[in-house]
Structure formats: structure tokens, C-alpha cells
Amino acid sequence: MAAHKTAISVGLLYIPCSLQKAARDISVSFNQLCKDSHERVRYKKYCPGCDKEVRSEDIIKGYEFEKGQYVTITNEELEKIKTKKDKTIHVEQFAKMSDIDMIHFEKNYYISPDKGAEKAFELLRQAMLSQEEIAVGKTVIGTAEQLLILYPTEKSIIAKTLFYQEEIQEAPEVMPVEVEDAEFEMAKMLISSMTRKFDIAAYHDEYQARLREAIETKIKGQDIVNVDTSAPDNVIDLMEALTKSVELTQKGTA
């Protein structure tokens, strides 16, 4: 995973560092193939109005403000309003982790300080840890202005990106309901009976596991064709054979 170069700026502190995604997508992805030729299927962009393929230089951007009605916007116009490419994470305030509703959490990134910045980084981490505070900041990733928090862990600092308030949808309305004491006790009992220590390692995507297994089996069926049986299949045998034959030739000439 490539690291994203950035820096944390807090008041007068400036800490060059890099971000690395904490999670990755490991699900199996398929390619689309033509049924007859097994070639990869390619996309062609097509305009039904002109009845022809459109090249990328002939494509412009439009925004549909009403069904079938578009305003067009040029790349120059977009360029003008782009956020200045500022990769620095500007810390704007500190706060309590509990002030943030979990629903805003999006992605996690590991942060590691660049060479020479370890001390300032450690200072920030320890100070946040002892004050039990987290940093709230903004940075630019691509063209998006990203809101994020920095929170200290035992060893390092993790960045969590946040959804803005306007990105969060309103929760569906809930009608107030009365519950009986006995039912409430029963529900609580159900929960305690199913409570055990959580171990994330015990959970797997079982569909993905079966999918991978199926793929492996198919590949094994095809492998047999590719094996060269004439060559040594083991480096120890090869090394032994070579050194032995050197010894033999030496004896022969001595």
C-alpha cells in the first residue's frame, strides 16, 4: 500500500508524516470475458444521438438540474473553484472523543512520522493521551476537503475521516412504545445469555472463503499441463549435483 505524504500542523508545530490505509478490500473480483473468445470485454462510449462511438476528447460534463435539462461545465471552470492542493492536516481544535457520534466515522489511516519528525509526533501523541483529547482537523485528499480526527493509541496516532453533518441521512422516525417490566427483564436475560468476549478473528466472510476455494480447485485442474518434469524441482538437488560434478571433474584431471 502506497503511503500518502502529508504533515500535521498544530499551531506552531509542523509534523511531516504519512498516511496509510488501515483496511483493505480483499474480496475476489472478477473480470468480464466474452463467452466465445474469453477475451476481456471492453467498454465503448456511444452516443445514440449521433449513432457513433464518442472519443474521450469529445466528452464534456453536464449537470442534470431537471429531467433532460443540463447545464454544462468546463474543466477550466472546475479548475477555478478547486480547493487549493493543500495536503497538510490543519488541526483546528481539540475535543473529547465522546463528543463525536460514531455514525460520522468513515475510514481509518495509520499515521507514521517522517524521519526527524518522530519527537514532535510523540509529543503530540503523549499530550493528547494524557489530556484524553483528540484533534479535529481538515485536509485535502484529491479534490475533497476531508474532515478528520487524530486520536492517540498506545503506540501511535490514527486518523479517522469523518462524514460531514450534511452527509448523514436523517434517521427514520420511531413511535414511542411502552414495555412491560417482565418483558424487559426477559430481553436483558437473552442478551446476557448470548454475551461472550468478542474476538474479531473468529468472524470471516464465508462466502468469500467458498469462492476462493472454488477458484483454487479450478486452477488446480488446469495446472497439470504446465509442469516441466525434466528439470530438477528442488534447489538442494541442483546445488548438490553441481558441486558434486565439480569434485568429479577435479578428480578426473588430478
Amino acid at 99: D
Does residue 24 interact with another protein by CB under 8 A? yes
Size of the site for another protein (CB under 8 A): 28
Which cell numbers in the block locate residue 193?
445469555
Q: Which of 71, 174, 177, 219 is the binder for another protein (CB under 8 A)?
A: 219
Out of 101, 106, 167, 233, the only residue in the binding site for another protein (CB under 8 A) is 233
Told to check if 217 binds another protein by CB under 8 A, we report no
| Nearest alpha carbon to residue 163 among 95, 93, 83, 106 | 106
Largest CA distance in the chain: 103
The reply to whether 145 sits near another protein by the rule CB under 8 A is: no
Q: What whole-number distance in Å separates Cα of residue 42 and Cα of residue 56?
A: 15
Stretch that binds another protein, among 105-113, 158-166, 167-175, 219-227 (CB under 8 A): 219-227
Scanning 22-30, 46-54, 62-70, 182-190 for contacts with another protein by CB under 8 A, the matching segment is 22-30
d(Cα 56, Cα 73) in Å, to the nearest integer?
16
Q: Which of 102, 174, 179, 235 binds another protein (CB under 8 A)?
A: 235
- Stretch of 36-44, 131-139, 192-200, 235-243 contacting another protein, by CB under 8 A: 235-243
- Nearest distance from residue 233's CB to another protein, in Å? 7
Question: Does position 22 bind another protein by CB under 8 A?
Answer: no
Residues 58-87 that bind another protein (CB under 8 A): none
Shortest distance, CB of residue 133 to another protein, whole angstroms? 31
Burial tier of 155 (Cβ tally within 10 Å: 0-12, 13-18, 19+): exposed
Transcribe 25-82 into DSSP letters: -----PPPB-TTT-PBP----EETTTTEE--GGG--EEEEEETTEEEEE-HHHHHHHS
The least distance separating another protein from the CB of residue 232, rounded to whole angstroms, comes to: 5
Of the candidates 26, 171, 174, 191, which one interacts with another protein according to CB under 8 A?
A: 26
Under the criterion CB under 8 A, does residue 103 sit at the interface with another protein? Answer: no
Rounded distance, CA 217 to CA 166, Å? 48
Question: What torsion, rounded to 10 degrees, do the Cα atoms 232, 233, 239, 244 define?
Answer: -40
Among the listed ranges 12-20, 49-57, 94-102, 237-245, the one in contact with another protein (CB under 8 A) is 237-245
Angle at 76 between CA 73 and CA 47, to 5 degrees: 45
C-alpha span between 63 and 74 (Å, rounded):
11
Q: Which stretch binds another protein (CB under 8 A): 127-135, 162-170, 178-186, 238-246?
A: 238-246
Q: Cα–Cα distance between 231 and 164 in angstroms, integer?
A: 61
Q: What is the distance between the alpha carbons of residues 44 and 208, in angstroms, rounded to a whole number? A: 31
As measured in angstroms, the least distance from the Cβ of 220 to another protein is: 8
Residue numbers at the binding site for another protein (CB under 8 A): 1, 24, 26, 28, 212, 215-216, 219-220, 223, 228, 230-236, 238-240, 242-243, 245-247, 249-250
